[in-house]
Amino acid sequence: MSQKINLKSLSVDELHDFAADYHLPRYRVDQLLHWLYDRYAADLQEITEFSKALRDELAQKAYISSPGLVARQRSEDGTEKFLFSLKDGNTIESVLITDKDRLTLCISSQAGCAMGCSFCLTGELGFNRNLEAFEIIDQIISVNRLISPRKVSNIVFMGMGEPLANFGEVTSALWKITGLMAISKRRITVSTSGLVPRILEFPKKAPEVNLAVSLNATTDEVRDRLMPVNRSYPIGMLLDACRRYPLQSGRRITFEYVLIDGVNDTSEDAGRLVRLLRGIRCKVNIIPYNPHEGSRLKRPSNPGVLAFQKALEDSHVTALIRESKGQDILAACGQLRGDFQGKEH
Look up 117 and say whether it is catalytic: no
Q: At 97, is the secondary structure helix, strand, or coil?
A: strand
The reply on whether position 135 binds ligand SF4 by CB under 6 A is no
Pick the closer one to ligand SAH by CB: 24 or 259.
259
* Residue 258, contacted partner among ligand SF4, ligand SAH, none, CB below 5-8 A by kind: ligand SAH
Identified binder of ligand SF4 from the candidate list 128, 193, 230, 285, rule CB under 6 A: 193
Query: What is the amino acid identity at position 53?
Result: A
Q: Give the interface segment with ligand SF4, choosing from 51-59, 109-117, 144-152, 310-318 (CB under 6 A).
A: 109-117
Stretch of 36-44, 119-127, 237-245, 275-283 contacting ligand SF4, by CB under 6 A = 119-127
Task: Map residues 84-123 to x or -, x wherever contact with ligand SAH holds by CB under 6 A.
Answer: -----------------------------------xx---
Q: Does residue number 214 form part of the binding site for ligand SAH (CB under 6 A)?
A: yes
Count of residues near ligand SF4 by CB under 6 A: 10
CB distance 263 to 222 below 8 Å: yes
Binding to ligand SF4 by residue 170, rule CB under 6 A?
no
The set of residues, in sequence order, having a beta carbon less than 8 Å from that of 10 and lying 6+ positions away, is: 18
Q: Which of 7, 19, 115, 332 binds ligand SF4 (CB under 6 A)?
A: 115
For helices 267-277 and 302-314, give the axis angle rounded to 10 degrees.
Answer: 40
Residue 211: beta bridge partners? 190
Q: Of 9, 139, 22, 152, whose CA–CA distance to 82 is shortest?
A: 139
Show the CA angle centred on residue 102, arms to residues 100 and 104, nearest 5°.
130
Residue 216, binding choice from ligand SAH, ligand SF4, none, Cβ under 5 to 8 Å by partner class:
ligand SAH
Segment contacting ligand SAH by CB under 6 A, of 73-81, 90-98, 274-282, 284-292: 284-292
DSSP codes of every residue in 41-60: -SSGGG-TTS-HHHHHHHHH
What are the residues whose beta carbons fall under 8 Å from the beta carbon of 23, sequence distance 6 or more?
Answer: none
Q: Cβ 123 to ligand SF4, closest distance in Å?
A: 2
Q: Is 46 exposed, middle or buried (0-12, 13-18, 19+ CB in 10 A)?
A: middle
Binding of residue 189 to ligand SAH (CB under 6 A): no
Report, in Å, the least distance between residue 64 CB and ligand SF4. 29
Q: Is residue 65 near ligand SF4 by the rule CB under 6 A?
A: no
265 near ligand SF4, rule: CB under 6 A: no
Under the binding rule (CB under 6 A), the answer on residue 123 touching ligand SF4 is yes
Extended strands (E) in 68-142: 68-74, 80-85, 91-99, 102-106, 110-112, 127-130
Q: How far apart are CA 85 and CA 332, in angstroms?
A: 20
Q: Check if 282 is active-site.
A: no
Q: Confirm if 252 and 282 have CB atoms less than 8 A apart.
A: yes
For the chain, the residue count is 345
Helices (H), 252-333: 267-277, 302-314
Catalytic residue, chosen from 80, 93, 135, 169, is 93
CB of 290 to ligand SAH, least distance (A): 4
Residue 167 in the binding site for ligand SAH (CB under 6 A): no
Nearer residue to ligand SAH within complex by CB, 35 or 127: 127
**β-strands 5-6, 68-74: how paired?**
unpaired
**Catalytic residue positions?**
93, 333
Binding site for ligand SAH (CB under 6 A): 119-120, 158, 162, 191-193, 214, 216, 256, 258, 287, 289-290, 333-334
